Amino acid sequence: MKNIYIGLANKNDQADMVTRETEFDGIVLYLWVKLDHERSYRVNEYVMNQLMYNDDVPEEVIWDMALRNTFKETRITPMSTFIPMAFGSEIMVVTNNDAFRGAACILDEEALKANVEPGVYIAIPSSVHEFLLVPKDKYNLGLNAVINMVMEVNETEVRPEDRLANTAYEIQI
């Protein structure tokens, strides 16, 4: 079960998937299996039942393993690493080693505390692949303005299958 991970998805897009609620309104956890660097699949009820039956593993253990696997690959990097001089080093990108279905790494509280200065942040679900963390006080951002920006960027720049949420969240680290 070393290839099972947790992803985040829009709650309205996951009718046939095995999901769990998150602290982020409108976003759910789901399980996915990485076959290799380019191929993966989401876990629906049929696949979950096969995993539990064939390996004789309870569902809760599968979720725990997926969470551990996901958090082993958490990567938190300053935005300036990707776009030099465009942003300050305070804006952080939270994803996984492959930057693929890595938005769930925002739930890795241990990694956040180790890599991000304490404070209040606007957490922006950039896509199913990443979250952006923007220090609220540093940029004097209003949550409604950020939500409007997220909605516009999702509509014009993000492929529909990669959209996570048309909102942003205020979090404390």
Q: Last residue of a domain, which of 16, 38, 72?
A: 72
CB proximity list for 2: less than 8 A, separation 6 or greater: 69
- What's the CA gap between 73 and 121, in Å, rounded? 22
- Do both 88 and 161 map to the same domain? yes
Task: Please tell me the total count of domains within the chain.
Answer: 2
**Per-residue pLDDT tens for 85-123?**
656 678 999 999 999 999 999 999 999 999 999 999 999
pLDDT of residue 63: 93
Whole-number pLDDT of residue 12: 86
Q: What is the pLDDT of residue 70?
A: 97
pLDDT score at 22: 95
For the chain, what's the residue count?
173
Q: What is the pLDDT of residue 41?
A: 63
Please tell me the predicted confidence (pLDDT) of residue 124: 96
Q: Which domain holds residue 23?
A: 4-72
What letter does residue 172 receive in the DSSP assignment? E
Residue 23 shares a structural domain with residue 45:
yes
Q: Please give the pLDDT value at position 13.
A: 79
Q: Which residue has the tokens 């959209």?
A: 163
**Amino acid in the structure at residue 90:** E
φ, ψ (nearest 5 deg) of residue 169: -135, 145
Map residue 39 onto helix, strand or coil. Answer: coil
Q: How far is CA 8 from CA 40, 69, 154, in A?
A: 14, 14, 16
Q: Are residues 82 and 103 in the same domain?
A: yes
- Specify the pLDDT at position 53: 66
Q: Looking at the structure, tell me whether residues 109 and 142 fall in a common domain.
A: yes
> Which residues in the chain come in under a pLDDT of 70?
14-15, 37-46, 49, 52-55, 84-88
